[in-house]
Amino acid sequence: MQQHHIGAMNLLNLRQMVRDEGAIVIGRILWNVLTQPPLRKRVLAMRRVFQQYQQDLGYIVLCAIAD
């Protein structure tokens, strides 16, 4: 194994989303969330679930090279 990383998931965290997706994409997402009530309701429900289980959610990245 060459590398491994573990960490907490930052799902629907604005700072992490900007870092992952870029400001322009996040602007478009925010516009859609602000202007479409059904979408806003769904996103906020997902955010509540992610925050509720934040201590149980994480990621593992493994990088290996086959011989």
* CA-to-CA separations, 7 to 3, 11, 50, in angstroms, rounded: 14, 12, 15
pLDDT confidence of residue 1: 75
pLDDT confidence of residue 11: 87
pLDDT digits (tens, 9 = 90+) for 12-66: 888 999 999 999 999 999 999 999 999 999 999 999 999 999 999 999 999 999 8
What pTM did the predictor assign? 0.72
* CA-to-CA separations, 49 to 3, 16, 31, 45, in angstroms, rounded: 31, 17, 22, 6
pLDDT confidence of residue 36: 98
Nearest to 45 by CA among 33, 57, 32: 33
